[in-house]
Chains A and B, each alone.
Chain A
């Protein structure tokens, strides 16, 4: 049951968007998020949407998968829309019945907010769909590097993230195995109230924690024997390197960002 879980949303494809430098993609995403908050009307959203469509098309992602990312926020979107339509007042009265009324300002704000949320989620999900978790980790490390001066252990942080990512599938499989073994001994993980269920997890948690800490010990030993000593002067197998396309992408997004902020 636990084996079907996929970690992250990355879909490997051979496209120019996939090949962009992870750092640049994070920077561009941040810029575009900011520009979405500067947009004041639907023209801006329209241009932004067009840009997004071209980007998704270039990234060769299956449209279905991209839209699937919107599913968890459907509730939020509906809620925002309904609340605004009924509660935000101002402008012409479009429809009214006893004490309920819908006014033009409410409809405008409702759709405005919903467009913003939709575009935000779509844009950020194209980032995670086209960039593998490991590349993103590297990207985050580079972006946190300037904070090293203030004591943020950027390279250690990314090393730990890499370790964590590496062991999620392993631990999932292990959890699955332990669950089956304990179920064969009569353990019950599915019935009872929430506290009962949590208590029933102890026969799973104890072996799982023991095995995780044992792996951590072995890994530390292996790293130390290979002379790992932190971020200072460490070299890497896959160096991140900026290409022309990265600057082209940055330039394009900057222009689009500035244009949409004016509308």
Chain B
């Protein structure tokens, strides 16, 4: 990372900016604040372009940015689990490395695994946050985990599928070609 440090920093900055811009154009809005948008696309892109550490950094930056722009705080633990942590977990996608020399088939499988990993990370964080919220505010006797899982999966899965489809087409241009202009 050292050699490209400043370049990575500026790319992460711009990617986060793009994520915020894409978040402004949601494709589908949920009643409780979640929305199907492409905000994860730029973050997953820099993750795959560089490495998981960069991805986590980008995620954390995006999370803090959302916290500043649009905070929605109902519990101290929810603050962490809804803002910096879930996006940071997206960086897990970087554990699976895609290589230019491999076939498209191998890479699309890897991309699928990688996005699933990142998505699962983000989901877990939102799952805990939702369970804490429901546990705190909902009456006893209801199972908070199921509510939280259904709610969060309902927008995460469509978002992740869209990211997968779009990333497949953007792979050659932006992930493998770091000098792309």
A residues apposed to B, CB below 8 Å: 2, 5, 7-9, 30, 33-34, 37, 72-73, 75-76, 80, 83-84, 87-88, 106, 109, 113, 117, 120-121, 124-125, 127-128, 133, 136-137, 140, 153, 156-157, 159-168, 170-172, 175, 194-195, 197-199, 201-202, 205-206, 208-210, 212-217, 219-220, 223-224, 228, 230
Q: Are B68 and A136 in contact (CB under 8 A)?
A: yes
Q: Which of A72, A171, A224, A228 contacts B17 (CB 8 A)?
A: A171
List the B side residues contacting A117 at CB < 8 Å: 74, 137
Interface: B104 (CB within 8 A) = no
- Report the minimum CB–CB distance from B38 to chain A (whole Å): 7
Q: List 5 A-B contacts (CB under 8 A).
A: A2-B21, A72-B33, A164-B13, A164-B16, A213-B11
Provide the bound-state CA to CA distance between A204 and B12, in Å.
20
Tell yes or no: B109 within 8 A of A by CB.
Answer: no
Cα distance, A120 to B57, chains bound together (Å): 28
Main secondary structure on A side of the interface with B: helix
How many of chain B's residues have a CB under 8 angstroms from any CB in A? 61
| B71 CB contacts on chain A under 8 angstroms | 124-125, 127-128
The one of A121, A165, A202, A212 in contact with B166, judged by C-beta atoms closer than 8 angstroms, is A202
Q: How far is the CA of A124 from the CA of B21 in the complex (A)?
A: 23
Which of these, B62, B64, B76, B161, contacts A37 with CB under 8 Å?
B76
The 5 closest A-B pairs by CB, nearest first: A163-B13, A164-B16, A167-B17, A216-B10, A220-B7
Known: A133-B69, A175-B21, A209-B45. A161 touches B137 (CB 8 A): no
Instruction: Determine whether the beta carbon of B65 is less than 8 Å from that of A163.
Output: no
Report how many A-B pairs have Cβ atoms within 8 Å. Answer: 183
Please, how many angstroms separate the alpha-carbon atoms of A2 and B23 in the complex?
Answer: 11
Say whether B6 faces chain A, with CB atoms less than 8 Å apart.
yes
Q: Which of A5, A88, A120 contacts B73 (CB 8 A)?
A: A120
**Prevailing SS type, chain B contact patch:** helix
Q: How many angstroms between the C-alpha atoms of A178 and B93 in the bound complex?
A: 30
B165 near A195: Cβ-Cβ < 8 Å = yes
Docked CA distance A76–B152 (Å): 15
**Cα A109 to Cα B137 with chains together (Å):** 9
Tell yes or no: B9 within 8 A of A by CB.
Answer: yes
A109 to B138 alpha-carbon distance, docked (Å): 10
User: Which one of A33, A113, A128, A206 contacts B68 once the chains associate, using CB atoms below 8 Å?
Assistant: A128
- Cα A7 to Cα B137 with chains together (Å): 30
Known: A73-B72, A160-B61, A214-B181. A171 touches B21 (CB 8 A): yes
A163–B68 contact, CB under 8 A?
A: no
Q: Which residues of A contact B156 (CB under 8 A)?
A: none
Q: Which residues of B contact A172 (CB under 8 A)?
A: 21, 24
| A194 and B36 contacting across the interface, CB-CB below 8 Å | yes
A173 to chain B, nearest CB (A): 10
B162 at the binding interface (Cβ < 8 Å): yes
Q: Distance (Å) between the CB of A14 and the closest chain B CB?
A: 22
B25 on interface, CB distance cutoff 8 Å? yes
Give me 4 other A-B pairs in contact (C-beta within 8 A), A161-B65, A208-B21 excluded: A121-B72, A133-B68, A161-B13, A212-B17
Alpha-carbon gap, A206 to B42, bound state (A): 11
Are A201 and B166 in touch, CB under 8 angstroms? Answer: yes
Q: Which residues of A are found within 8 Å of B7, using beta-carbon distances?
A: 216-217, 220
B173 at the interface (CB under 8 A from A): yes
